[in-house]
Structure 1
């Protein structure tokens, strides 16, 4: 328990962070702007600014180049932008911050990043109709812990998480987001590919909000990690069964930590894939630096479960490197990944 700890709603935080970027750009007064374009990128070499590539038939300005094909979990990611690029027109710098899906980009895959990919599921839970009513806390319970013998605490909501009590950090963890919402996590499955990570991202609730009204666009699914459709369907069926079993095991474990949770319902199951960095003499640190020698392509990756810890510092370092065109200002510990061979990388024990 960390009594003074805070629980962050990541979706809201990222939305606010993006809004801050837009406001900061506008405040410069020099015509700068921050624009979000949703697009699957298969190659940095072919990546071009809007309006500088010959349009394919049916492509219009302003279209969101983002699409998920197929119902349910068996989606396939489609990438737009297959048009030929205009010679000599390109971005001044590109920073790849694609997490576990980074190696779906050809040039990043060629860099052979020493990463271990781990898929995880979390449960968003809410009080159900069978949730127990409010009850006084047990006198034997620690003053800063949820009482395992009571469904709620004095002053709390019937059937809700005890008001004023901290979240629990462990395996499983219980992260309270108000009295009526509890995030429980997390399962772990290793050995995922970058393509699977991208598909998991496209299945997320955040992607669904963006794609619901998007126009169809053709997709290049032939990049690194792509699999034949028949194999993909079979893999989805196996994954669904494994996820269902893992979800039930996670819920049972959480109920063992806080018994009243047995009366709650699973409102949503969230899926994510983390990119875990290799363990070195300096610890398990993120990856930072150029994607390829002599190119203005930069990488920020391998944050694992420490994105909130590192993202501000890494963002500043990456921006300074991209603007200066040099790695001289980057800590050597963050560029040491180049000396780690994929087959020889050592990771934290699963």
Structure 2
């Protein structure tokens, strides 16, 4: 199925929209408390002073003195003294060694020509992150060509929609469920019509995806209250309440995240069924609507068998350390299943998987209506 004029216009429209999102301010800049005009730069660790660090078992506390050389920006070449504060928490602490690259925040003095304070935040990772992104983009373009370019555009559009619209919107007090549904609908349309094309196949995949996502949303709201899970179960959720956002409904944010997290797998399954039905229709133009729907059911049954474990593996991987801690301590299974952290992931997995199961037959029905003309 070739590229049409409608496809090209849609790609151009989405490219312009992505560029606009890049320039769109989030509205929450300057809340970190950093001095105005602070520079965020790359620095080299020259020397360390570990004399005031203390080791307690596997954790360290105290301070680590650092001598750094700024490698970028207007203060490049300057050597400065800084302190790395250790809190005794492995997930937050970092210990530097000479030769490491660090990400630093430099607060200039009143003249603006010298650094008043250097704050070493963490290891510098943006260079390797850009390398990985470049490799991902290169392999995608080489393997998939024009389709890969459209997939890359949809990837960037999705990231910007989440960072510039979804997250700031909820911080402003927008309804989490409605915001999530709106963002998911926009992302679904962009991704499916970019990859699938502005045609009947794309329309079938979009209709099936939105039907499955809607069912997942309804189930999340219906069973969320029955599970009695507070949204603070997610990491850093409670921190938001103490950071000036006490108006946030953490539970609704948690429930909205359920169908947002499963929407990617739902789109994948809907596109699989829609593409298969389109191919069947092109090879057999005289196929009846009933026969095509039954063929869609058959394809859906084959695909859904593996897709239902996708969310289980994803959530299990993200919480493997928690489950290992329970098993290592000999916690009974009944205790584990009733813990809020575990119950939250069970709700995530089962509700998301239920949406995957329903999207296949719904996409098949949509394909029968849109692909076969009387």
- TM-score, normalised via structure 2 length: 0.22
Higher relative contact order (CA 8 A, sep 6+): 1
CA radius of gyration, larger in: 2
- TM-score, normalised via structure 1 length: 0.23
